[in-house]
Amino acid sequence: MSGGLDAENLADQLGRSQAKDIDELEESADLIDFTFTTALVALHARCVVDPRAAAVETWEATVNAMQLGSAFFAVTETSDGTVECRINRKLRSIPALGPMPSADAGAWLTAFWLAVICRDQQRMTQLCEISLERLRSPEGAYDEYIYHWVDALQTYWLRRPGLVDKLIATIEASDPPVARIAPQDMLQGLLYPPINLFYHFVRKDEEGFNPALADALKLHKAYWTMDEDREADIDGSFALGPLAVACLAYDGGFTIDVESEYLPKHLLQRGWLGEFPT
């Protein structure tokens, strides 16, 4: 990951340009997917500087990314009129866009994890009400497991029947011999660990959860420090999926005794919740 000073400068620069980009969404939402991506980069940069999320600026970056992710899916769910979304401390009317190819299952997972981390149950519900077919990409874009995974998460949150079967289908479809599109090191290091963690969580296996979380963070570190290019990439500054599932477990009463630079403590323990309307 980039040095702290470089990351802090990047976060500051992105914060300034992002505020302007967010304001412009009220005129046109055509670049909302780009604005969402920029917000994610800003959040990762903040977590390089502040790995515990002890500063309010890191919480602001987390909330902005969450709000933009949810707004992205809100404006691509309808083609008519405008959609009201709170972004960057202001309620905004953003023109509807209709379906976009980038509003896919991978982006959905990112948006959902951010809503979980921010404990925004209304946005979690709105995301979970998006039909799975709307999130499908052309064949070859994703392994089939990702659709089982989204289905399992939506089933869990909306309390629909069949969670166990859908989670088993996710686990089976993410097995390396079955999943052939995602690079194997990414699958094993980044994509599968949140599924395994969620399995321990829904089974109420508190004893098994902490070792699985520690393993997920070790795998995350191993992936992002495998070579110099990855080590310089701020995308590895924290473990988004494991953090989100750990938030579910923490809120469910699990004792989380794992500490890591990839697991921002104050996001996990909802230390900033209620600081300002989100």
**Angle made by CA atoms 256, 160, 97, in degrees to the nearest 5:** 90
How many Å apart are CA 159 and CA 9, to the nearest integer?
43
Cα gap 54→159, rounded to integer Å: 34
Contact (Cβ atoms closer than 8 angstroms) between residue 33 and residue 107? yes
> pLDDT tens for residues 247-272?
999 999 999 999 999 999 999 999 99
pLDDT band at 2 (very low <50, low <70, confident <90, very high): very low
- Which amino acid belongs to residue 176? P
pLDDT digits (tens, 9 = 90+) for 197-223: 999 999 999 999 999 999 999 999 999
Q: Residue 111: its pLDDT value, please?
A: 98
Q: Are 136 and 105 in contact (CB under 8 A)?
A: yes
Going by pLDDT thresholds of 50, 70 and 90, the confidence category of residue 1 is: very low
Secondary structure element (H or E) that encloses residue 91, with its range: strand 90-95
Considering only 16-30, 107-121, 150-164, which range has the smallest mean pLDDT? 16-30
Alpha-carbon distance of 109 to 200, in angstroms, equals 19
Give the mean pLDDT of 103-120: 98
- Amino acid identity at 16: R
pLDDT confidence of residue 4: 59
Question: How far, CA to CA in Å, does 257 sit from each of 224, 260, 263?
Answer: 23, 10, 11
What is the rounded CA–CA span in Å between residue 82 and residue 49?
37
**d(C-alpha 106, C-alpha 108), whole Å:** 5
Model confidence, pTM? 0.96
The domain limits of the chain are 1-103, 144-268
Residue 17: pLDDT over 90? no
Q: What is the mean pLDDT of residues 64-72?
A: 98
Tokens 């515990």 appear where?
Answer: 52
CB 83 within 8 A of CB 71: yes
